[in-house]
Amino acid sequence: MTAQRSTGGRRKGGVDTASSLTKSTSHYQRAPDMADLAALDATAIASEAVGTPVAWSAKVLGAMEAFQIPRALERKQKLQPRPRSLVRDQSVTLIELLKQGKTQDAARHLLVGEPGCGKSTYLLQALAHALEDGWAVVYIPRTIDMVNSSSPYVYSSVLQTYLQPEITNALLTAIGKVNNEVLKKLKSIAPLTVEGHELFPKHTSLTTLVSKVLAEHTNPLARQLALELVFNTLAQQTEVPVLVAIDDVQALFAPSQYRDADFTQLQSYELAVPRSLLSLFLTSKKGIQRGALLATVGMAHSEYPAPAPLLAAVRAASSRRDAAVPWARILQTFSSPTSPTRVEEPHAYTPMDAQHLQNATDAHFAPLDVGARLTRAEASSLLDLMRREQVLWSPPNDELFVSKLMESNGNICVFERSWRATLV
């Protein structure tokens, strides 16, 4: 005779917690059904869709898994029954810029705005649109991880730089997985040669090149050269538009936490992967020809504030009379009192690395202000979405809604976090 399984003793006056508490109790709450949310495709972000929540498609979620996403967004999406975002006016503006870059010279925009305005989410919306529209994409959500001495590195006398094998391998794998169909159409613009030995001839399919390098060649130098060849091919071809989206771009224009054999601090441009990324947008001849390059300066890391060389280059570009975003507005976003980072406007005596300043100047970033406050319609739509997701502790009413919108100053992240933390 088999005894009835029990995973815990009966509590005094209670029940066996393992065998008797079921979904039929009053404490059980069925998971919210968000299946009716429209998936974000190439036509989802339009002016008539402002204020509408959209879910990430399976294709975009696969890209997020391959490239990863910022840790704060990763934690946030784990709490959502179905990962989603909200279409806003700034989303429409950004997608219009992408559409222009599809047929014109590649645009280079630095997204600026106060902490919590959703800059990283706008990058993901641009990534989703590009993927659904058949673009090639390179997404770098954690640029700081490339320079914070968290991965192995080794010096290469051939390239005269420091290879980062794990980062190179992860980036090549993600590019090959996410862009598999697009890379089949593209051929390498040069042979892949390692120390005098030709591994792959010119005009090799990029899909073949990436897959075979990862499968057959464990030499870190070969994989780094393959990554650079993929970048150069994507940049110079005009058959397929390319989106390069970089979060925490300030890490590319600042000293790294790596050290050489003499314990001298290495600059980010002395590391192989950051140097390869810089080559995508430093000059118009070497940078991407069709598509767009979007970047954001992250403000969540106090040890990586906006560096002086980047500030000086952006100030020079935004001080013209025809600048879309005036320098005063940009400095205001970088110096926001809600940011853990504190920056000062560079002056004549501010120490700067000459190469970093040159790189930031050659990037030719055009600032794009995405820090607009939530409108009442957008806030109302977001609140209704959160109600459906069953994350509100307090029943919403008009008075509480207006109060939350005002105290958050229209900041979407603060508004959402405030509702989650309110118990009336």
Residue numbers of the domain that contains 257: 92-183+239-369
Per-residue pLDDT of the chain (424 residues; tens, 9 = 90+): 455 555 555 555 555 555 555 667 776 678 888 888 889 888 888 888 999 999 999 999 999 999 999 999 999 999 899 999 999 999 999 999 999 888 877 889 999 999 999 999 999 999 999 999 999 999 999 999 999 999 999 999 999 999 999 999 999 999 999 999 999 999 999 999 998 889 999 999 999 999 999 998 889 999 999 999 999 999 999 899 999 999 999 999 999 999 999 999 999 999 999 999 998 877 556 678 889 999 999 988 888 999 999 999 999 989 888 888 999 999 999 888 888 777 889 999 999 999 999 999 999 999 999 999 999 999 999 999 999 998 888 788 899 999 999 999 999 999 999 998 876 6
Residue 351: how many CB atoms within 10 A of its CB?
Answer: 6
Query: What's residue 286's pLDDT?
Result: 63
Query: What's residue 340's pLDDT?
Result: 79
Q: Does any domain span residue 128? A: yes
Query: What's residue 34's pLDDT?
Result: 86
Query: What's residue 13's pLDDT?
Result: 52
- Strands 366-369 and 136-140, how do they pair? unpaired
Q: Does any domain span residue 294? A: yes
Query: What's residue 153's pLDDT?
Result: 96
Query: What's residue 392's pLDDT?
Result: 87
Q: Does any domain span residue 375? A: no
Q: Does any domain span residue 139? A: yes
Query: What's residue 47's pLDDT?
Result: 87
The answer to whether residues 341 and 302 touch, using CB atoms and an 8 Å cutoff, is yes
Q: Does any domain span residue 346? A: yes
Q: Does any domain span residue 249? A: yes
> Would you mind telling me the total number of residues written for the chain in this entry?
424
Query: What's residue 30's pLDDT?
Result: 80
Q: How many domains does the chain have?
A: 1
- Strands 242-246 and 255-259, how do they pair? unpaired
Query: What's residue 137's pLDDT?
Result: 97
Q: How many Å apart are CA 265 and CA 256, to the nearest integer? A: 7
Q: Does any domain span residue 190? A: no
The answer to whether residues 369 and 112 touch, using CB atoms and an 8 Å cutoff, is yes
Q: How many Å apart are CA 125 and CA 34, to the nearest integer? A: 19
- The helix (run of H) or strand (run of E) holding residue 200 is strand 197-200
Query: Across the strands, what pairs with 259?
Result: 265
Short-list 339, 147, 164, CA closest to 253: 147
Q: Does any domain span residue 248? A: yes
